[in-house]
Structure 1
């Protein structure tokens, strides 16, 4: 964290707050890709407000926790799925996303590369493999992603390569015609960032992301 400390004044608390703010920016971008199911303990509910439930749990072998956000949306699953799959539009509404390239499109599987501007420290980049599925029997859509750091463009000294990022969106039909939305994520932003900062930021930004994605879906379906 030497680079951050050199550029941030105000003592340890100010530096910690700056770090948390910075990592929120990064996680806001990475989270959009959509967690492969990881082995962990029971979910712990940490917040329930405005129709959004936030839970977390530990993951074996990792200091970064898994976060789950659950809510309801008035739009049907297909409408939200359409917005989630418009990767080329993410740069229009995702803060700090400098660049997004779809490197390969195999229909239901895509390989994408992102560059993310992160205040105060070195920018990040990540290559993700994203897969969408649909069950005609249940009407459930899912989008799962995983970082594939050795695919895509070679590493550059201008960026810190994100090597761990797994996520999943689950969109299930609700009885009222809307959607039961579940978003799960675990991302290690890389570099010398303390796990407690990553965990705090990941919780906050996951809720912001779900709200932003649903708002974009409403914009796409007036």
Structure 2
């Protein structure tokens, strides 16, 4: 039924250096429908994922969709629910997302801080897990490692280049087929859904 919250989510302050400096080289795992997905193994059984695409919209339009957490289930793969936690500012706030996993695996949840800024027309949006900011929910596995960075960069042809780099423990301990679906198929579907949502809105 459902789809996963910013794993692409996605799904604060500055991106923790471990996202940018990995244990190995990026490997192209998927290319299709205008989306590329790269993966990289990290320490502690974590994985980093980088997703790239373009869209015929403005950076401001992308920000509006990314800031609309309650809409995540409509386009973020495996996202059961998401919401902004009261408090903070428009550019620095906490959010919650519930990641639905297939039975018999335990669902995941993320509590993280979003911090975003503009420079020369480029939007940078960083996300860092704050697992203790909310009490955990019974029956869900609260992720303690979730670090991500979105960059939305205007292009000369009027499009924007969208990249999302994420490091997560979400696949740790899961069978390879579930791990691959979460860390490769999910991000690809999420980005495809995002572009469709953005360009569909732009055409209205």
TM-score (norm 2): 0.81
1:55 and 2:55 equivalent?
no
Tell me which of 98, 101, 105 is aligned to 2:88.
105
In structure 1, distance between residues paired with 2:148 and 2:181: 17
- Post-superposition offset of 1:172: 0.5
Instruction: Answer whether contact 1:64 1:198 (CA < 8 A) is retained.
Output: no
* Deviation digits for residues 28-65 of structure 1 (CA, Å, limit 9, x no counterpart): 54422246433113322334334323222233x23232
How many residues are aligned here? Answer: 195
Instruction: From the superposition, tell whether residues 126 and 204 of structure 1 become closer, same or farther in structure 2 (CA, over 3 Å).
Output: same
In structure 2, distance between residues paired with 1:156 and 1:84: 24
| Structure 1: stretches of 5+ with no match in the other structure | 1-21
Tell me which of 109, 119, 123 is aligned to 2:107.
123
| RMSD of aligned residue pairs (Cα, Å) | 2.7
1:145 and 2:127 equivalent?
yes
* Deviation digits for residues 2-43 of structure 1 (CA, Å, limit 9, x no counterpart): xxxxxxxxxxxxxxxxxxxx9x954x5442224643311332
1:45 and 2:28 equivalent?
yes
Instruction: From the superposition, tell whether residues 133 and 117 of structure 1 become closer, same or farther in structure 2 (CA, over 3 Å).
Output: same
Bigger proportion of residues as helix? 1
In structure 1, distance between residues paired with 2:29 and 2:75: 28
| Structure 2: stretches of 5+ with no match in the other structure | none
Instruction: Answer whether contact 2:59 2:154 (CA < 8 A) is retained.
Output: yes
Tell me which of 3, 6, 10 is aligned to 1:33.
10
Equivalent position of 2:139 in the other structure: 158
Instruction: Answer whether contact 2:57 2:160 (CA < 8 A) is retained.
Output: yes
- Post-superposition offset of 1:89: 2.3
Instruction: Answer whether contact 1:33 1:130 (CA < 8 A) is retained.
Output: no
Instruction: Answer whether contact 1:163 1:190 (CA < 8 A) is retained.
Output: no
Equivalent position of 2:46 in the other structure: 64
In structure 2, distance between residues paired with 1:50 and 1:117: 25
Greater C-alpha Rg = 1
In structure 1, distance between residues paired with 2:20 and 2:175: 21
